[in-house]
Amino acid sequence: MAWDYQLDIDRYYPSVRTYLTEQLNLPKHLVYLLRSNQRVLVNHQYRPMNFPIKPGETVNISFNQTDFSTSAFPMLPDWTRSLEVLWESDDLMVVNKPRGLKTHPNQPGELGTVFNLAAAYLAPKRPLMVHRLDQQTSGALIIAKVPPVVAILTKLLKTKTLQRTYLAWVRGMLTNPQGTINQPIGKDPFDQRKRQVNGQNSQPAITHYQLLKTNENASLLKITLETGRTHQIRVHFASLGHPIVNDPLYDSLATSSQPMLLHSWRIAFKTPYYNQAVVVISPLPPEFKRFS
């Protein structure tokens, strides 16, 4: 299997390598494979990596299946429910993840996750991982359709060029209308399911928030992340004494009959290779509307 891209150049680049690494955000190992196999053509001819590219020229890039590693086990399609697609292109899509569904299976033969639904939607293609949402978190989730975009999207996430915005109801009233939580997060030594501030093997974690509204005993926040630690939003606000409402791990007032109120609301990015600006909004689930 191969994936081919034809790209029109609209400005000067000092070298082919600069275009591939800085404009397209391709990782070094893919640039090496493209160069060694002469699979980057400028105006349909091979051009060495240190040669410039000029406005008006055309770049053709070709990837092979062998350029990419594959996951350890096949993804079984699940046809039992439909997948809500918020936006899609030939390379990727943004889906609306329901609260309560896992993002992906953890073992062979497992069904009932968003990725099983995506495998049915894309068949015979298979969905590819870009990022995850916790099982009890709802909202916008990016899924890649083809391998050549995965590494690019991963880099855009790390550099915050791909921006994710969350909405959450937290317990209590925050004293500041906006703020930043800068506390490292690590494993909870007493519960393998949980994380905690300054836990084992802590890593830096930074969360920004803005207060949108309050009701009698809770606050609605808009949240963005500088880092992507496991349970980052949940742990940071629990550490302040304002856990996510009905968080089954960190909210002492949570009940199993009520949903956790954390939602991946907005994703903004530029599409790999073509730099099309995309903004996707995930509709608020009914539980958010009822709570407000």
The residues pairing with 165 across neighbouring beta strands, listed in sequence order, are 224, 266
Report if pTM > 0.85.
yes
pLDDT value of position 72: 60
* Catalytic residue, candidates 91, 134, 247, 251: 134
In this prediction, residues 59-79 reach a mean pLDDT of 87
3-state SS, 74-132, equals CCCCCCCCCCCEEEECCCEEEEEECCCCCCCCCCCCCCCCHHHHHHHHHCCCCCEECCC
pLDDT digits (tens, 9 = 90+) for 6-44: 999 999 999 999 999 999 999 999 999 999 999 999 999
pLDDT digits (tens, 9 = 90+) for 149-189: 999 999 998 888 899 999 999 999 988 899 999 999 999 99
The segment(s) of the chain belonging to CATH 3.30.2350.10 are: 85-159, 163-260
pLDDT digits (tens, 9 = 90+) for 196-212: 999 999 999 999 999 99
Considering only residues 240 and 69, tell me which one the structure prediction assigns the higher pLDDT.
Answer: 240
The CATH superfamily label for domain 85-159 reads Pseudouridine synthase (3.30.2350.10)
Q: Are 109 and 76 in contact (CB under 8 A)?
A: yes
Residue 134 is a catalytic residue? yes
Q: Is 39 left (phi over 0), alpha (psi -120 to 50) or beta?
A: alpha
Average pLDDT, the chain: 94
Amino acid at the residue 154: T
User: Per CATH, the architecture of 2-67 is what?
Assistant: Roll (3.10)
Residues with Cβ within 8 Å of residue 248, at least 6 apart in sequence: 136, 254, 256, 260
Least confident of 73-77, 78-82, 101-105, 112-116: 73-77
Handedness of CA 32, 37, 39, 40 (dihedral sign): positive
Q: Does domain 163-260 have CATH number 3.40.50.150?
A: no
CA 144 to chain centre: 10
The segment(s) of the chain belonging to CATH 3.10.290 are: 2-67
